[in-house]
Amino acid sequence: MKKDLTAILPNGQSFDFWEKEPVFDRVLHVDCNHPAASDANDGSEKAPFRTINAAARIAAPGTRVLVHRGIYRECVRPAAGGESPGKMISYEAAGDGDVIIRASEEVRDFIPSTGWMLRRDFGRTTPQTDSGIRVWEHDLDPDMFRGYNPFCAVNILHDRLFIEYEKTDMTTYLNRRGCVFCDGEALTQVPLYNGMSRAENTYWVEANGQKIHFRLKGDADPKDHRIEITVREQCLAPEIPFLSYIRVKGFKCEHAATGAPVPQRGAISAYRGHHWIIEDCEVNWSNALAIDAGNECWHHSIEPGQVVGHSVIRRCHIRDAGVCGIAGLWASHMLIEDNIIEGTGWQKMELSWEAGAIKLHNSVDGLIRRNIFRNTFRADHIWLDCGNINNRITQNLFLDGIEQREAIFIECTRDGVNLIDNNIIWNVEGRFDPKKIPDEPGSKGWYKLREDEFVNGYGIYGEGTDRLFIVHNLIAKCRHSGYYLKPVPFRTGIDRGGTSRKARIFNNIFYDCGEAAIVMPTADNQSDGNLFVREKGGYLRVMYPEPEVCLHLPAWQEFYGFDMNGANGWFDFDLDREKGTITAKPAQDGPVGFPDLIEMMNYVRDPEQVRGVAPVAPVCTDWTGAERADEDGGSLPGPFAALGKEYSIDPRKG
């Protein structure tokens, strides 16, 4: 069997693939649309169960639960786990249509909202009957909620230790967890009734959580639409922790009323178990978290012999998770591959520090590859938080981080090596208030030792992280810098602070980053073989010792000996979101005002002229996963085997 070169971890060992094809000795059928369906049946194909929970109550190791098409409004509670990779319990779609597990219920009883005032412009108040605005109300049926009413619970109830209240608008944290949907589209919660006067498709929850008021697009009548409200926290989650060897395959899980992490409780939850496989699923509109696969909360103890992690999340599509797409505390040996995660972060809870399309703590021996991250809002695409050892992040597309501080964040990792290679990072907007950035005309800003704190937007950000390897990536259009690393001296934990030293930044392409390509804390790092395209104005920087130095490539080489095999380029990349392609092409311009600079700094004008540099082990593949050709001991910078060729930006296509 050919060795999987994209699965070689930084220590040179291959990722531990534990899966094998399970053997099932029992099959249970669930079919809510079958005329004979009943939870009193035996679960055979001719006498299926009506609910998935009926099967979950009796499924034992070696059981395959086949769920037929339909909408299942329940939270599936596996009562047992499997025994081994070959004897799992599998919950999977039967393949005859969409299997949708919804944490919402449809409601139909509405009356016009009365007794409340809508605040209008300039502080004037007007009853809605005189304003043309139509607001409706619905009394929540307590029998729907069975002990958990998300309209009574605010988003954050548990660990609030890390919220920086002085920096944070607490509105979204204090909003209720319950959501309202019209024809599958989420309405936006407002904190006060009068907020509905300013926007359509909004809703408000009364103080006691027993009644909702809402306004539809075009001030429509809800009787002409499908209105759903969330009534359950999760879609599939055991009630008993540490259940393991469970497979979840092919489900659509929607409308979970999860609360802000921590605790990490997802629409699909492994609930502190290990060796789960979650594949080919969709998770749509989770209020906070889509999938959790770790210890759930740092206040939980793990007893000797208990294992967390070792799970696979594959080919899933996660849309519009409010805070976090995939989360795991102490989730080691994780394989996260071939997923699409988009629209994460709309709750604007980035300052509670648990927001990310993927957020893992203490990740060890993990492999994150061939995923697509799109339109992550005020959250990182990937955040590895503290104690991460021997992880590889490879062949991922990170596209359009909206108001995003950084695309990839590796935090406070002092031991081992982590490798980020063969990724495309494109468009990191930055999280800052441009009105607070001072206008400094003339020479006013020439002698500053630091740039303004409000300017950020990094492709890869390391904070107190040692031995971070950044190899063969295309890092493009970052508001501040492609790579930014800083020490954290006083976050000592049980031993020491992080130095952010011994990074290796090799064979990357940095393209059109706003302030800098590379910002190092000290010169105790390595940089070589990188190609700097459309970078200008002191784009290579060392922060300490003061004063910070801002250099171009010739000075970078002369004073530090960095990138002796590096080069400057002045050409373009065309990323076409509609076609899903990226192409390098010659530029039609040059550095403005410096016609002689192209020759002096040896700019490469045509991407076809880019030459190879020294290869870096264990990175021996390109963006497509193909083995790199070693021509004359060299390898092209960036993730591509050739520049000037059109590539798909979907890494799953190979």
pLDDT of residue 434: 58
pLDDT tens by residue, 255-308: 999 999 999 999 999 999 999 999 999 999 999 999 999 999 888 887 777 788
Cα separation, 184 vs 472, whole angstroms: 41
Residue 83: half-sphere exposure toward Cβ, Cα within 13 Å: 9
* Edge-first strand listing for the sheet containing 104-107: 104-107, 227-230, 180-182, 185-186
Residues sharing a CB contact under 8 Å with residue 202, sequence separation 6 or more, in sequence order: 187, 188, 189, 190, 195, 196, 214, 215
pLDDT of residue 594: 52
C-beta separation of 373 from 348 below 8 A: no
C-beta separation of 60 from 89 below 8 A: yes
Q: CB 404: neighbour CB atoms within 10 A?
A: 27
Sort residue 353 into left (φ over 0), alpha (ψ -120 to 50) or beta.
Answer: left
Compute the residue count for the chain: 654
**Residue ranges covered by each domain of the chain:** 105-230
Cα separation, 222 vs 173, whole angstroms: 28
Cα separation, 235 vs 53, whole angstroms: 11
Cα separation, 306 vs 295, whole angstroms: 11
C-beta separation of 262 from 288 below 8 A: no
SS3 (DSSP) at 418: strand
pLDDT tens by residue, 591-604: 654 555 545 556 78
Eight-class DSSP state of 202: E
Eight-class DSSP state of 259: P
Q: Find the DSSP H helices in 312-422.
A: none
Cα separation, 179 vs 331, whole angstroms: 29
In the beta sheet, which residues pair with residue 402? Answer: 377
Q: Give CA angle at 476 (475, 480), nearest 5°.
A: 95
By DSSP bridging, strand 227-230 and strand 268-269 are: unpaired
SS3 (DSSP) at 598: helix
Cα separation, 537 vs 546, whole angstroms: 19
Using only the alpha carbons of the chain, give its radius of gyration: 26
Taking alpha carbons only, the member of 205, 352, 247, 274 closest to residue 23 is 247
34: its two tokens: 């079958």
Q: CB 555: neighbour CB atoms within 10 A?
A: 14
139-148: long-range contacts at Cβ-Cβ below 8 A with a sequence spacing of 24 or more?
Answer: 139/109, 139/210, 139/211, 140/209, 140/210, 140/211, 140/212, 140/229, 141/107, 142/210, 144/105, 144/231, 145/231, 146/231, 148/231, 148/232, 148/233, 148/257
In the beta sheet, which residues pair with residue 369? Answer: 337, 394
Residue 186: half-sphere exposure toward Cβ, Cα within 13 Å: 23
Cα separation, 524 vs 583, whole angstroms: 35
398: its two tokens: 């990170």
Q: What does residue 157 show for φ and ψ, rounded to 5 degrees? A: -130, -20
Secondary structure (DSSP) of 442-475: TTTTTT-SS--TT---EEEEEES--SEEEES-EE
Handedness of CA 141, 145, 147, 153 (dihedral sign): negative
572: its two tokens: 């373009």
End-to-end CA distance of the chain: 19
- The H or E element that residue 597 is part of is helix 597-600
Q: Which residues of the chain have pLDDT under 50?
A: 122, 443-444, 446-449, 593, 598
449: its two tokens: 């030792």
In the beta sheet, which residues pair with residue 312? Answer: 277, 335
Which residue is associated with the tokens 């070696």?
62
Cite the beta strand spans of 273-330 per DSSP E. Answer: 277-279, 282-284, 289-292, 312-314, 317-319, 324-329
Cα separation, 513 vs 518, whole angstroms: 9
Cα separation, 506 vs 471, whole angstroms: 5
503: its two tokens: 């990074």
pLDDT of residue 244: 96
SS3 (DSSP) at 56: helix
Eight-class DSSP state of 130: G
**Residue 606 CB-density burial (10 A; 0-12 exposed, 13-18 middle, 19+ buried):** middle
Domain 105-230 sits in CATH 3.40.50.300? no
